[in-house]
């Protein structure tokens, strides 16, 4: 099929060979094609959810905070080394309670090893008395 020039993008796209046709032509011509041999892994969203889950599961509610019925949420900022170790863990937004903030950073440390994700992460750590353990 021959496409006339100047008839617009839609016609050009309609005249372009399909991806399957390109693969067949490449195979017949003996071209080397690159195939990603990396095994399928969890997506970034799945890894982030796993990180959040592990940190929240590692929370140890401070007995003094429980006794005083203190609740809150701290936003913890950190990055993850290739070996899964959290690095440069700090409070980005305080819960308003130093005891809970220390427990939040402790939960990040205790949750290691974590799935690796590139860059700085900010994870909320929730302290609520209805989550009794």
Residue holding tokens 């969890």? 42
Residue, of 119 and 19, whose pLDDT is higher: 119
Quick check: helix, strand or coil at residue 83?
Answer: coil
* pLDDT tens, position by position, 36-80: 445 567 888 899 999 999 999 999 999 999 999 999 999 999 999
pLDDT for 35 equals: 53
User: Which CATH number is associated with domain 44-127?
Assistant: 3.30.1150.10
pLDDT the model gives residue 130: 82
Count of C-beta atoms within a 10 Å radius of residue 36: 6
With 0-12 / 13-18 / 19 or more C-beta atoms within 10 angstroms meaning exposed / middle / buried, residue 122 is exposed
Neighbouring C-beta atoms of residue 87, cutoff 10 Å: 9
Instruction: Indicate the domain borders of the chain.
Output: 1-35, 44-127
Highest mean predicted confidence (pLDDT) among 3-17, 84-98, 119-133:
84-98
**Three-class DSSP category at 61:** coil
More confident position, 23 or 114 = 114
Judge whether residue 10 has pLDDT over 90. Answer: no
- Mean pLDDT, the chain, whole residue set: 81
Q: Show the tokens assigned to 55.
A: 């940190």
């Amino acid at each position: 099929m021959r496409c006339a020039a100047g008839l617009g993008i839609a016609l050009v796209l309609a005249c372009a060979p399909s991806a399957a046709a390109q693969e067949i032509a490449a195979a017949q011509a003996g071209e080397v094609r690159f195939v990603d041999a990396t095994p399928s892994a969890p997506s970034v969203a799945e890894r982030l959810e796993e990180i959040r889950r592990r940190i929240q599961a590692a929370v140890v509610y401070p007995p003094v905070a429980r006794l005083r019925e203190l609740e809150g949420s701290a936003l913890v900022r950190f990055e993850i080394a290739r070996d899964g170790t959290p690095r440069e863990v700090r409070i980005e937004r305080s819960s308003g309670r130093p005891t809970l903030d220390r427990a939040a950073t402790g939960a990040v440390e205790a949750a290691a090893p974590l799935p690796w994700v590139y860059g700085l992460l900010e994870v909320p750590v929730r302290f609520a008395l209805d989550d009794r353990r």
